[in-house]
Structure 1
Amino acid sequence: MPDDNGERDPNICKDVGVMAKLNICTAKDGETGKWAALSYCWGGDSNFTLNASSFDDLRSGQSLATFPATLRDAVLVTRALGFRYLWIDSLCIFQDNINDWAVEASRMSRIYRHAAVTIAATSAETADAGFLDKRAPYYSCPFPWRRRSHQGSVNDASRAYPVVLRSYTDTFNKEPARSSRWATRGWTFQEELLSKRILYYTKEEMVWKCRAVTFREPELKPTTTSYIEIPPPLPVPLPKPEQLYADSMSDPYRIWYLLLEIYVSRDLKFDRDRLPAIEALAEFFHAQFREQYCAGLWREDLRFGLLWSIHRNGHYPGPHADTAKRSEVRNLSYQYKHNKERYAPVGVSSKQRKPSWSWIGADNYVDLKWPQLGQLRWLQDYTYFAFILDFKVHGQLQGVFGHVEGAELTLEAPYRHLHLKLDGYSKSQWNPVRVAQRALMRPSPLPSLRELAQVALVRPGYLAGTETSGSVIVPSSSTDFTFIRIAEETRTVPPALYLLILQPQPRNATNNRGPHHYRRVGLLRLSPHRYYGSDSVRVAVTKRLESDAYKEVTSEKWPVGTFVID
């Protein structure tokens, strides 16, 4: 049966037909058809997967009774909807073949975009949990009513409508799908956004969503399509690519950054999945503006893309802000509530992910952000001081959107080398050691810039309301750092100047010749702030440091150099 668009079948699909046994089947060249796709949480340690040893058994057929409950329920739904084929990642991709995995991951955009429907098993926390027989009951009762303009008895059946009583226990009154473990998984993010039709199975109800309407059980009338929770809201699923950018007010780069800010807070079992889990989404965007993909960022907007930062402290005052933030996340977020060993990271990963200049270098579960995404980009005017000279990728298996072992970014920018002593920096503002440090800093070049950098790299919890952020893995014995000027916002009031903090990398077998290599360890945002009497101590200190550093940097001319950042 041809698809709406005559789309070619995935290479491997599950034939769920009406036979007693279900088998995997491979698509022939040029074959088209309709299929359903499953979006779910693997969870646990399910061994029911496609690999070299299980291929023959799965191809010859397996009894439905042997399937994990979530997969079995998905088969039943697929049959009930009248489809013969079901795509399940664990059974349609060889899990023990990294090359096959990379190839199929690169095709995931087409699989979910062209699936007739995506079954979202949001209420199942693992592959063994199932989602058809564990629904919370809902209650309704007749509610007699009568319009004043009409005569007749209030007991007239034609005037009685059911009133549904729902129980929402989520702290923020989110819809059930948003409060599920499924909504915290990294892989389900692109699966939901790219699907053109989605059937959600939540603990409370079934929900049908497409690009036009949303139907909720047991409501009789459709509502407008719901939105994923980012400002401004994006429709779920995403509209067709040409519709996404038809509005001149929509900036595709801005939309990409907004999506990333949500995605990085989601959970991935394997660290190497950070790019593959949004590979299909990247392919979707690439189809529109046809430019080079640079390890999670885009070449034409790469200089702005470098301005990502980690917002650590939220609205909590004082030196215990990180503790308060961690406590909030554990109490209000599903992923922290069910995984107590997790923590609230505050900078570049201790695993030293590469490349450090991309958002990939940040830890998962962080509050990642770019400057002023809440405003229209065309209302802002950025003056860029850095120029991108080259971009090289290392260890890329398949395609241009998947996993990379590393990537080098070569740029030319104004710079200053500064010496910082981090190991003796005191956290107390009036500690005698701290006072002596400040006194010794004043005669040195750019004293406020040095102080701000030391706070960002050693005591980031003392900064408030800023994009300034630093790494948590800078060795305390480090003294040599390089500051490069990237960009300045000139239309904002007050203006803001952005500097990257780079740390020289030691020479090794692969880096013993040619230009020195660096690693990004922080971002500074400098601005001539206005002071207010209502400012807290942290806000006042942050404003003072950033304002004084802004005056220092803008009052002198920096030399221009070339830097290779890993």
Structure 2
Amino acid sequence: MRRDIPIGLPILPERESPTQFALLRAWLRQCDKFHSCHKGQDASKIAMPTRVLYVGNPKDLDYASDFIRLVSVSEIAKQKYVALSHCWGDPSIEEKKVYCTTRDNIIQRSKGFSLSELPKTFQDAVKVTRELDISYLWIDSLCIIQDGDNGKDWELESGKMETVFSHAHCVIAATAAVNSKAGFLKRDVSTEYVYVQDASGKQFYISTDIDDFNNDVGNALLNKRAWVMQEGVLSRRTIHFSANQTYWECGEGIYCENLTRLRSPVTNRYFILDPNFPDRLIRSGMRRTLDCIAFLFQDYSMRTLTVPTDRYVAISGLVVRMEGALNCHSRYGIFQKYFHRNLLWQASNNKMKEIAYDYYVPSWSWMACSGGIQFMDITLGEVEWNDHLLFDEKCECDHAIIADLWTFQNCTTRLYETQCTVLDYSGVERGRMQYDVEGGQDLRKEQCVLVGRRSNRGIQEFYILIVKSTGVDGEYRRIGVGSIQSDYVVKQRIDIRLV
């Protein structure tokens, strides 16, 4: 990223002092006043979460610093609110009962409860919200019922993450906190700086506090969590409280606590900074859009989840936003507009494992397995996509693809773990395959589905999904992906269902 010096923002001489929050308020005012991407957010158009925490206003006569209340948005007019992005850590069942909202304590919490009951990270979030002169705060474990209703409220509210984070006035990222109990405002670093003013009155600050956004934020534990992916992309602006510095991130770039400013070149990072994501991306054209979708899904797939079955839902808000922008629907992370290209994913680390969902996630979706993915390296424009491969629009389910079935001929494989080389009977390489998980790998029992084809020096190469029968006539499941020369496959059957 490129650095420059922003003008007109206050210096931060002390840690965790009112000056720190003065700096944040100055950033917020500058965003609202000068940045076109943030101007004029109409409070009447804010789609608020179902519940928020009322943290009070220190200027009110009846203000009590240790008092907060859980309120339903149906009780209040639409207001600005802040959302917290944080690491849960690994709380015990007893700890969850103490601070999480449950069916048993939600009525009491709607009457008010003590801030001191909550973990330090939540207390710090309340403090920041108050200092920003905002009265409402959203925290997942407090604003969504976590126990006592068979998961019904969580199932409903988890589908609303797109609006929760995109409509928040800003997001507080507790980057320095490894769990809910750690807190993020207190830091064990000290900064030295020199203030200089030249004869013309121009001011300079020289600080020992060197910014390192990629390390302080990008490599922090918080940004290894899968849930945080969509929280960061969908938010209009984010305050990152890292262990070393506070960073302000918005569509104009990244402001650092030492008053430097980081500007992103036109890369995937630039598009993700868009406060109205993915407006910038869609205007950039198909090639950049495809690259950025691949970047997002690959990054997301490598992040951690406490509950593996959250792989589908933890990015659902971001997928919904992309659907609207692309003007197409998607199924399990496969966008109809880029249907064929999105199907050609493969394991990036050979450590994929099927996820045991309690509902059906199709084998052709990368969401069916845990582990990192990458998309096959294909140059756009060189491939002719197969028109006979498409979503099944006639059935009531949403997990079937209609395809023609091909079978392998005159070839064998040389296997190493989940990767293999396709050889003809004289031992010449004719293709390569990669299986999604270990097991199987027997071309006598496997077939394939044609995704696309290209010509390379007069030889036609097929991009394929490797499939295997489910035991139901005409029904197959994906077990891998690859490429093979056209002479070594032959069409066997039409209109099978890939599930």
TM range (shorter): 0.7 to 0.9
> What do residues 151-210 of structure 1 show as CA deviations (whole Å, max 9, x unaligned)?
x9xxx9978742324496xxxx93301111101001111001110011110001000111
CA contact (8 A) 1:225 1:235 kept: no
Match in the other structure for 2:258 = 218
Indicate whether 1:52 and 2:59 are aligned: no
Give identity over the alignment, percent.
21
Q: Structure 1 residue aligned with 2:72, among 20, 26, 31?
A: 26
Match in the other structure for 2:494 = 561
Q: CA deviation at 1:16?
A: 0.4
Secondary structure of the corresponding residue to residue 100 of structure 1: helix
CA contact (8 A) 2:69 2:112 kept: yes
Residue identity opposite 2:50 in structure 1 = N
Q: CA 1:125 to 1:160, structure 2 compared with 1: closer, same or farther past 3 Å?
A: closer
Distance in structure 2 (CA, Å) of the matches to 1:215 and 1:491? 48
CA contact (8 A) 2:450 2:464 kept: yes
Number of corresponding residues: 437
Distance in structure 1 (CA, Å) of the matches to 2:270 and 2:460? 28
Match in the other structure for 1:174 = 214
Q: CA 1:415 to 1:214, structure 2 compared with 1: closer, same or farther past 3 Å?
A: same
Residue identity opposite 1:38 in structure 2 = L
Distance in structure 2 (CA, Å) of the matches to 1:301 and 1:191? 24
Distance in structure 1 (CA, Å) of the matches to 2:68 and 2:475? 54
Distance in structure 1 (CA, Å) of the matches to 2:457 and 2:374? 18
Distance in structure 1 (CA, Å) of the matches to 2:432 and 2:304? 24
Q: CA 1:237 to 1:288, structure 2 compared with 1: closer, same or farther past 3 Å?
A: closer
Residue identity opposite 1:27 in structure 2 = V
Match in the other structure for 1:412 = 403
Alignment of 1:491-510 (within 5 A): 496-506=461-471
Indicate whether 1:451 and 2:416 are aligned: no
Q: CA deviation at 1:30?
A: 8.7
Indicate whether 1:383 and 2:347 are aligned: no
Q: CA deviation at 1:2?
A: 8.4
Match in the other structure for 1:372 = 377
Q: Structure 2 residue aligned with 1:460, among 404, 416, 419?
A: 419
Indicate whether 1:86 and 2:107 are aligned: no
Q: CA 1:89 to 1:143, structure 2 compared with 1: closer, same or farther past 3 Å?
A: closer
Q: CA deviation at 1:520?
A: 1.1
CA contact (8 A) 1:185 1:266 kept: yes
Structure 2, unaligned stretches of length 5 or more?
1-39, 57-62, 423-428
Alignment of 1:234-253 (within 5 A): 234-248=271-285, 251-253=288-290
> What do residues 28-64 of structure 1 show as CA deviations (whole Å, max 9, x unaligned)?
2893110000000111214111110121221121111
Q: CA 1:235 to 1:410, structure 2 compared with 1: closer, same or farther past 3 Å?
A: closer
Q: CA deviation at 1:411?
A: 1.6
Indicate whether 1:9 and 2:58 are aligned: no
Q: Structure 1 residue aligned with 2:368, among 361, 376, 394?
A: 361
CA contact (8 A) 1:112 1:191 kept: yes
Distance in structure 1 (CA, Å) of the matches to 2:208 and 2:245? 12
Distance in structure 1 (CA, Å) of the matches to 2:457 and 2:142? 52
Q: CA deviation at 1:278?
A: 0.7
Q: CA deviation at 1:381?
A: 3.5
Residue identity opposite 2:365 in structure 1 = S
Distance in structure 2 (CA, Å) of the matches to 1:204 and 1:277? 28
Q: CA deviation at 1:363?
A: 2.0
CA contact (8 A) 1:35 1:115 kept: yes
Match in the other structure for 2:246 = 206
CA contact (8 A) 1:383 1:490 kept: no
> What do residues 252-274 of structure 1 show as CA deviations (whole Å, max 9, x unaligned)?
34422221011000011112211
> What do residues 294-317 of structure 1 show as CA deviations (whole Å, max 9, x unaligned)?
1111223222221111233xxxxx
Q: Structure 1 residue aligned with 2:192, among 140, 159, 164?
A: 140
Distance in structure 2 (CA, Å) of the matches to 1:384 and 1:159? 63
> What do residues 477-527 of structure 1 show as CA deviations (whole Å, max 9, x unaligned)?
995211222212448998742122112123xxxx5xxx332221111223x
Q: CA deviation at 1:281?
A: 0.3
Alignment of 1:123-134 (within 5 A): 123-133=176-186
CA contact (8 A) 1:309 1:468 kept: no
Distance in structure 2 (CA, Å) of the matches to 1:102 and 1:408? 20
Q: CA deviation at 1:476?
A: 7.9
Match in the other structure for 2:83 = 37
Secondary structure of the corresponding residue to residue 126 of structure 2: helix
Distance in structure 1 (CA, Å) of the matches to 2:446 and 2:170? 52
Secondary structure of the corresponding residue to residue 408 of structure 1: coil
Distance in structure 1 (CA, Å) of the matches to 2:219 and 2:268? 18
CA contact (8 A) 1:380 1:492 kept: no
Residue identity opposite 1:356 in structure 2 = S
Q: CA deviation at 1:238?
A: 4.7
Distance in structure 2 (CA, Å) of the matches to 1:490 and 1:4? 56
TM-score under structure 1 normalisation?
0.69
CA contact (8 A) 1:349 1:473 kept: no
Structure 1, unaligned stretches of length 5 or more?
147-151, 313-344, 395-405, 419-444, 527-549
Secondary structure of the corresponding residue to residue 283 of structure 2: coil
Distance in structure 2 (CA, Å) of the matches to 1:360 and 1:180? 24
Higher fraction of strand: 2
Secondary structure of the corresponding residue to residue 559 of structure 1: strand
CA contact (8 A) 2:405 2:492 kept: yes
CA contact (8 A) 1:501 1:524 kept: yes
Q: Structure 1 residue aligned with 2:172, among 101, 119, 132?
A: 119
Distance in structure 2 (CA, Å) of the matches to 1:477 and 1:559? 17
Match in the other structure for 1:99 = 152
Secondary structure of the corresponding residue to residue 369 of structure 1: strand
Secondary structure of the corresponding residue to residue 200 of structure 1: strand
Q: CA 1:277 to 1:558, structure 2 compared with 1: closer, same or farther past 3 Å?
A: same
CA contact (8 A) 2:421 2:432 kept: no
Secondary structure of the corresponding residue to residue 258 of structure 2: coil
